[in-house]
A and B are shown apart, each in its own frame.
Chain A
Amino acid sequence: GAGVSQTPSNKVTEKGKYVELRCDPISGHTALYWYRQSLGQGPEFLIYFQGTGAADDSGLPNDRFFAVRPEGSVSTLKIQRTERGDSAVYLCASSLGTSGGETQYFGPGTRLLVL
């Protein structure tokens, strides 16, 4: 596709369960980012990949959160033992990755609700 895609669009889970959120970046983009947006707030950075490696994971809130990008394209954000406070929209973005400070293109997001 032409843009960043994310699946699922919506995810409802119960407290304590494990969830996986998927991001498919724009073809050819080597940089991939995950952000989290709570209601009424701006997005907050979670983690940034350059190729297969996590270049900056300083935004991950705790060790329940983990992300991978094994082949340098699709990425999966994994959340273990979900808590109600994890409820938010999880946004993925990608950029060319050839230089710093490039435009980031965002996907539609996954709305996670933890009951």
Chain B
Amino acid sequence: SQQGEEDPQALSIQEGENATMNCSYKTSINNLQWYRQNSGRGLVHLILIRSNEREKHSGRLRVTLDTSKKSSSLLITASRAADTASYFCATAPADYTDKLIFGTGTRLQVFP
């Protein structure tokens, strides 16, 4: 079963604009990871944020985590057409199992 939901389900923006995607989850976590998926195939790991961290940056990506609200957000700044993809959050549950539980994903379309 899915851990939670992502919002919005779909997002369309122009190149140069910022894109924000939100993720909510249900259970306590060890960490939360964001992945990108092109054309419904392999997932590319973007960033991992641990439960004791509140914010993390990687290039044009900024991730926040609010464990009290069980939510995270992914911000992509200065978007490019190449950022067009589906984005998924995935949580590693705090019960020390190593499986990831994925959200439903946000489909991002960046127009040139």
Contact = CB atoms under 8 A, between A and B. Distances in A.
A25 interface: no
A42 B45 contact: no
A85 B30 CA distance: 32
| Secondary structure type dominating chain A contacts | strand
A111 B2 CA distance: 20
Contacts of B68: none
Contact of A107 (B42, B99, B103, B105): B42
Given A42-B2, A45-B101, A91 B42 contact: yes
B8 to A, nearest CB: 14
Contacts of A104: 33, 45, 100
Interface of A: 31, 33, 35, 37, 39, 41-45, 48, 50, 55-56, 59, 89, 91, 93, 95, 100-109
Interface of B: 1-2, 30-31, 33, 35, 40-45, 48, 50, 88, 90, 92, 96-105
